[in-house]
Structure 1
């Protein structure tokens, strides 16, 4: 039946008046929820004939037709049965068990009657046991009733055997709690794991839900928690009917106690139902009113406010019951009396609206007192107190209702005069309109929920993809915002701070340490640091140091991360020494921060470090950032604003120490390096007749943000000029996939005057192209040349013939004077610590026949410098075995003086030192290739700390 407007006419004034009253009660229900009466209409003249009675009944049919297509829940009852009791009970069952007349597009889902169904199960069990006892109520025992209820699973009509498909569909309906939970968990899984595992988990979950659904429908394991069971166990009407222990004591936290209450009450109700079936008038009245009470409670629950499904906001019209003809014989009057009695003894208001038509000859009166029970005779002796109490309690359920009252309080009787029933009204056309669905239905309907679920899933997919593309560890839950993806396609790098185990910058990086560290991979060092962090007990005091360096590369060459590997190894060595070897009371925790290949993304990393430091007060400073780029100034400024000191490793900038008070560098500056190189260059220039030199450097703004080569170029030019060389125009080269030196070297070597010396302001990766060009280009290949360069060449081992040309003498500076330290035992201890990370059979010994510091494990100096930088920062942060803040650490760094370090004494003086009297360690190294292999010689140098300045006498070429 489809909804639509209804148009009709009122045949008389009485019909119009009753119609208007009913429509007002129905339509005003949404606004003020008025008290719903039991409306009884009849002809005022008791002697009116059948024709007048039909006019009264026509009014009920008019109201029925006006509302049957509106979406109002309407139920039309036809009385009938062997007795008035059976007829009234049949009508109550019809209301609870049969669908109400309403079109397919109702305001909300069909009305539910769980309390009535529970009583129906008790009735069915009683009927079965009653039939087996041949109608003898005395043979009906409590255990028989409960056994039959267990067989019925406490359900009146056992459902047909469920199928897997039906169980599956019912389990994952989005409007149910289990279905919504399943979809929510599925959306979480989609963000946590890949699609294959998600499909596998979802399939297993669906099978499990289907099994649970089948089991739940065959045996309700949580029956005592249902609303119907709670009502049955707590209603006061049954408390008087089941005086045996326990008749009360239901609790959601006590399954056993609650079951005891339910069983006792079920047995008591079953006995009453059996007596009612046997003709007991008291039991019949009790049975009918209990059924009516369950019906009204169900209807009240269907309109319950504050329900999760917003049912009260969705149902804006009351349920309407229509009796076309109510008499004593067809049970109609008995039903009206039962509803009135139940309402009169209870404080709750239900939404039921009833309209009944009585024949003119019928009298609407209260229920007459039930007859005396069969066989009950007055005893010869007065009953005892206990017997009188039992009788009183047995009849209390009926006695609570005002059956003897002079008026029926809930019945609204409308006597209709003959004139009203025969006079046509001035306005005869009546109209009703369909009841629209409310906003609550659109918000909380299945369609809306499905759209929300689909939208949520789609949003979860999109957000999960966004977070995976944004954060290195970005599931839907527990994502880490401290490390993000930077770059596109093949240039993507994970940049930031690794604060969760899932973020490992070196995962899959098989790059190994050289020399005695062979076999120890980048991934193993990062894992060892995490293990040291995990070993710090919850109650231990600790400080956190963040190492920031190039831990990833955008290309496929893992050698681009060697600087990060060696520096991180030095940080780990000091962490292990503090936490395990020395076992200091203030432990050292290390976090790793990736600045990207060649530290081109150090600003992103520094911002993430600052975010972590704001959340974690144990962060005392940063170690690393050992490459001078265009972002170095901004990075130091950000750390200064955040109150974090920076102990730099290999950044040789001359400006950073002067401009930033939070900057503490262990590397000799470019000016300090070129001063020492100038001591050699001056002596070489004096031996030449007309010394001539050129500065060869990388082009500015070539995409690498490298400021090291620019500062080296300026410092090298000044050094050559001060050393007595005549300078030609500067020459620069591009970095298109590598150093492009063919054209620049051709111009230099075939110029009118070929230079005697070059200052090479480039990086170690450019040297092989330089040497190849100097050994092959006409004009240079057979001419002795001297090349000066900075500290970056310390990374080169010069182990192959292409690393140095035979006609070239190379001088470069080294930031780590390993031969001038005062702690030679450091190298053996460090090797032993690293060896513990490997199995014994994989250990590589240090090179024999030469000092340990010349082993390739330490020769670049980066591991030693990072170790020393970490030691300096930790000393300031844990001075006197007291954990200090970042601000205190910054102030204390000025007083650090660590003796017996691998490169000398690590100290940061309060005043800036001169280029000759600085506190940094430094060596000048000479590299030549007189034969098949290169030879390295330390020309001169000084240890870190206070030491005599270098002189020309110390630095003989």
Structure 2
């Protein structure tokens, strides 16, 4: 080390900076890499330091302050003098300045730990023969090292670009247009899956599922539910939180179907959401003073096409249930498939009860101890079809055609699988033809067939099945009967328009008691408050679009509306019953969501059901203690003389099961 320039005795000079640390008084800020460009310790050179002079006194004072405070003070003081004060380190000859610096740098950490007063001092002794300033030409030039590459000024911009690109890739893989978290609040958790479907849940209009053309009805009912969610929250707050407040999840298949721009492809899902919205609406119409009447929030969840991504949706719902104690159950699931069974098992593990409005594959309850089915199982449907064939049609022989949705096998489709198996067992040798039907297959062999021609497949192929029978012309099969899945086809006017007009169709209905005609008849009977109230709700101006069952209107109510309404109301009445017992001593006590849990609500549903059963709009619902399938649930066969005639309501021609507690279980003509 050498002096930068000559000084007079006692003069203080700012020397070159010594590499090794941050600039004095300037802390490093990680978010500003440019700070790392100034990574050198400042140095102070004091010449002619001797006992008692100004420079010697300055060095002593600096050492005292450093020893007393112990603070980091990265100023290296280089002193030079013929007779330095005795408290300074042993001086090195000026010619050994480099060695002196190396020794100091090596000893610095230990001296700082021991808080030595000379930790930041290097003492040099000039050569006695040196009578003047050294020759500048003989000095070794000094310069600080180059700053590290990552302190360059381009780094912040480059880092931002990299982070933005990585974030864009991550967001693009997780979310997309019409599928993103809510920035305005609400319960929303969604992601884009491999097929491009938006899977997850939402309770706010910031995330509405399905932007496909022709699905306006599905989007409209979601927005109605989300608006009623806000209304329910407001009513709860105005009631000083005294009314019971619960959240139910609707889990369905809201995306993934191939559909034309003029075709409504999600009739079942739309109708089930309408049923839950009707239950929500009914609770909002309760008197402001009815502290025991519950309020309902609905979370809409999508499990993807054929419930293929139900596991992801259920994982999200599990997190929601852990965070929100008002989540007490799940309604929906739409189709009986192996993916649905997996979702049931996972929901059972999570501890959420499931009430399924339309699932009917046999033994679905084996997948969850918390599962309750609103519709009769396939075994009951097979029994009714057999009774109809023998009592009304007077035929013994049957041809059965079954289908599964494209991309799905018979083993995966539990609904079709158990239905076909039940027909095979019950009819036995009376089935003279049992075939899988594929789109494009001709059915001319069925023209004029006098026996029972039973369609045991999914509604998506029923349109093609009817088109194939068009070749029969004036000689169609005499007795065409379809399973309850065909109800989804019959609820779609756009599809029915292309069906042959001379082909009557009889199909299974799970909610014949909730048709407009049946509801109007019930409204005239003042003893049937459940159906009368349901009719008034679906006729209201501010609920369904358009309102249903109004005098002179052709718009019928879909059968899944009443089934989903019954499912939601069963859970709601159970919560109200638990709340009444909890608040028996003080009815005006605030509702505490953690006072009940989902498993307890399921147990209360069964307790209430143990007597006469639940008087649902679509028929009496009764369970046995060891089964989630209903007993003697009402089923019917509806007949349409001309399929394209959507203005004429179907007519009930046969029924099984019980309508209410006062009627016996029997099968017979309507």
Is this a same-fold pair by TM over 0.5?
Answer: yes
Deviation at 1:810, TM superposition (A): 2.6
Answering whether residue 198 of structure 2 is matched by residue 494 of structure 1, we say yes
After superposition, the Cα gap between the structure-2 partners of 1:505 and 1:896, relative to the gap in structure 1 and judged at 3 Å, is: farther
Partner of 1:603: 311
SS in structure 2 of the partner of residue 620 of structure 1: strand
Partner of 1:793: 486
Mapping of 1:473-552 within 5 angstroms?
Answer: 473=180, 482-488=189-195, 492-498=196-202, 502-505=206-209, 511=215, 521-535=220-234, 536-537=236-237, 539=241, 541-552=244-255
CA distance in structure 1 between the aligned counterparts of 2:577 and 2:627, rounded to whole angstroms: 24
Answering whether residue 651 of structure 2 is matched by residue 937 of structure 1, we say yes
CA distance in structure 2 between the aligned counterparts of 1:931 and 1:334, rounded to whole angstroms: 115
After superposition, the Cα gap between the structure-2 partners of 1:509 and 1:550, relative to the gap in structure 1 and judged at 3 Å, is: farther
CA contact (8 A) 2:511 2:619 kept: no
SS in structure 2 of the partner of residue 680 of structure 1: helix
SS in structure 2 of the partner of residue 887 of structure 1: helix
Deviation at 1:861, TM superposition (A): 1.2
SS in structure 2 of the partner of residue 559 of structure 1: coil
SS in structure 2 of the partner of residue 483 of structure 1: strand
Deviation at 1:654, TM superposition (A): 1.7
Partner of 1:878: 576
CA distance in structure 2 between the aligned counterparts of 1:935 and 1:670, rounded to whole angstroms: 25
Of Structure 1 and Structure 2, the greater helix share is in: 1
Answering whether residue 636 of structure 2 is matched by residue 923 of structure 1, we say yes
Partner of 1:339: 58
After superposition, the Cα gap between the structure-2 partners of 1:478 and 1:416, relative to the gap in structure 1 and judged at 3 Å, is: farther
After superposition, the Cα gap between the structure-2 partners of 1:905 and 1:336, relative to the gap in structure 1 and judged at 3 Å, is: same
Deviation at 1:804, TM superposition (A): 5.3
Deviation at 1:528, TM superposition (A): 2.3
After superposition, the Cα gap between the structure-2 partners of 1:458 and 1:807, relative to the gap in structure 1 and judged at 3 Å, is: closer
Partner of 2:624: 909
Mapping of 1:80-119 within 5 angstroms?
Answer: 95=14, 101=16
CA contact (8 A) 1:471 1:480 kept: no
Deviation at 1:888, TM superposition (A): 0.7
Mapping of 1:696-715 within 5 angstroms?
Answer: 696-699=401-404, 702-703=407-408, 705-715=412-422
CA distance in structure 1 between the aligned counterparts of 2:164 and 2:497, rounded to whole angstroms: 61
Mapping of 1:649-668 within 5 angstroms?
Answer: 649-657=357-365, 660-668=368-376
CA distance in structure 2 between the aligned counterparts of 1:888 and 1:531, rounded to whole angstroms: 27
Answering whether residue 555 of structure 2 is matched by residue 856 of structure 1, we say yes
After superposition, the Cα gap between the structure-2 partners of 1:506 and 1:816, relative to the gap in structure 1 and judged at 3 Å, is: farther
After superposition, the Cα gap between the structure-2 partners of 1:353 and 1:757, relative to the gap in structure 1 and judged at 3 Å, is: same
Partner of 2:567: 869
CA contact (8 A) 2:80 2:125 kept: no
Answering whether residue 506 of structure 2 is matched by residue 810 of structure 1, we say yes
CA distance in structure 2 between the aligned counterparts of 1:732 and 1:543, rounded to whole angstroms: 45
CA contact (8 A) 2:508 2:637 kept: yes
After superposition, the Cα gap between the structure-2 partners of 1:746 and 1:341, relative to the gap in structure 1 and judged at 3 Å, is: same
CA contact (8 A) 1:922 1:944 kept: no
CA distance in structure 2 between the aligned counterparts of 1:435 and 1:754, rounded to whole angstroms: 101
SS in structure 1 of the partner of residue 248 of structure 2: strand
Partner of 2:587: none
CA distance in structure 2 between the aligned counterparts of 1:113 and 1:469, rounded to whole angstroms: 45
Pick from 441, 451, 455: which aligns with 1:742?
Answer: 441
CA distance in structure 1 between the aligned counterparts of 2:614 and 2:185, rounded to whole angstroms: 45
Deviation at 1:878, TM superposition (A): 3.2
After superposition, the Cα gap between the structure-2 partners of 1:874 and 1:593, relative to the gap in structure 1 and judged at 3 Å, is: same
Mapping of 1:334-373 within 5 angstroms?
Answer: 336=55, 339-340=58-59, 343=62, 346=65, 351-356=75-80
CA distance in structure 2 between the aligned counterparts of 1:477 and 1:353, rounded to whole angstroms: 59
CA distance in structure 1 between the aligned counterparts of 2:480 and 2:49, rounded to whole angstroms: 122
Partner of 1:52: none
Partner of 2:458: 763
CA distance in structure 2 between the aligned counterparts of 1:636 and 1:832, rounded to whole angstroms: 34
CA displacement 1:644-694 (0-9 Å, x = unmatched): 2111100111211356432211101111122122221013563x5xx5321
After superposition, the Cα gap between the structure-2 partners of 1:902 and 1:454, relative to the gap in structure 1 and judged at 3 Å, is: closer
Unpaired runs of 5+ residues, structure 2, are: 86-120, 132-137, 523-527, 583-594
Deviation at 1:862, TM superposition (A): 0.9
CA contact (8 A) 1:791 1:812 kept: yes
SS in structure 1 of the partner of residue 485 of structure 2: helix
CA distance in structure 2 between the aligned counterparts of 1:474 and 1:829, rounded to whole angstroms: 37
Deviation at 1:508, TM superposition (A): 7.7
How many pairs does the alignment contain?
581
After superposition, the Cα gap between the structure-2 partners of 1:415 and 1:448, relative to the gap in structure 1 and judged at 3 Å, is: same
CA contact (8 A) 1:817 1:943 kept: no
CA displacement 1:58-105 (0-9 Å, x = unmatched): xxxxx34xxxxxxxxxx53544xxxx9xxx7xx66x74xxxx5469xx
Partner of 2:353: 645
CA contact (8 A) 1:547 1:568 kept: yes
Answering whether residue 607 of structure 2 is matched by residue 895 of structure 1, we say yes
CA contact (8 A) 1:805 1:929 kept: yes
Partner of 1:693: 398
SS in structure 2 of the partner of residue 758 of structure 1: strand
After superposition, the Cα gap between the structure-2 partners of 1:644 and 1:673, relative to the gap in structure 1 and judged at 3 Å, is: same
Partner of 1:678: 386
After superposition, the Cα gap between the structure-2 partners of 1:327 and 1:876, relative to the gap in structure 1 and judged at 3 Å, is: closer
After superposition, the Cα gap between the structure-2 partners of 1:718 and 1:844, relative to the gap in structure 1 and judged at 3 Å, is: same
SS in structure 1 of the partner of residue 266 of structure 2: helix
Mapping of 1:241-252 within 5 angstroms?
Answer: none
CA contact (8 A) 1:798 1:804 kept: no
Partner of 2:589: none
Deviation at 1:531, TM superposition (A): 2.0
CA contact (8 A) 1:525 1:569 kept: no
Partner of 2:338: 630
CA contact (8 A) 2:512 2:559 kept: yes
After superposition, the Cα gap between the structure-2 partners of 1:664 and 1:771, relative to the gap in structure 1 and judged at 3 Å, is: same
SS in structure 2 of the partner of residue 836 of structure 1: coil
After superposition, the Cα gap between the structure-2 partners of 1:78 and 1:486, relative to the gap in structure 1 and judged at 3 Å, is: same
After superposition, the Cα gap between the structure-2 partners of 1:523 and 1:913, relative to the gap in structure 1 and judged at 3 Å, is: closer
CA contact (8 A) 2:360 2:415 kept: yes
CA distance in structure 1 between the aligned counterparts of 2:183 and 2:53, rounded to whole angstroms: 62
CA displacement 1:195-215 (0-9 Å, x = unmatched): xxxxxxxxxxxxxxxxxxxxx
CA displacement 1:686-742 (0-9 Å, x = unmatched): 3x5xx5321111158843753322222223344544xxx7322322123xxxxx143
Answering whether residue 259 of structure 2 is matched by residue 564 of structure 1, we say no
CA distance in structure 2 between the aligned counterparts of 1:639 and 1:845, rounded to whole angstroms: 34
CA contact (8 A) 2:318 2:350 kept: yes
- How high is the TM-score relative to the length of structure 2? 0.72
CA contact (8 A) 2:198 2:209 kept: yes
Answering whether residue 76 of structure 2 is matched by residue 76 of structure 1, we say no
After superposition, the Cα gap between the structure-2 partners of 1:110 and 1:868, relative to the gap in structure 1 and judged at 3 Å, is: closer
CA distance in structure 2 between the aligned counterparts of 1:565 and 1:318, rounded to whole angstroms: 75
CA distance in structure 2 between the aligned counterparts of 1:456 and 1:577, rounded to whole angstroms: 50
Deviation at 1:112, TM superposition (A): 7.5
CA displacement 1:14-54 (0-9 Å, x = unmatched): xxxxxxxxx6xxxxxxxxxxxxxxxxxxxxxxxxxxxxxxx
After superposition, the Cα gap between the structure-2 partners of 1:805 and 1:598, relative to the gap in structure 1 and judged at 3 Å, is: farther
After superposition, the Cα gap between the structure-2 partners of 1:927 and 1:322, relative to the gap in structure 1 and judged at 3 Å, is: same
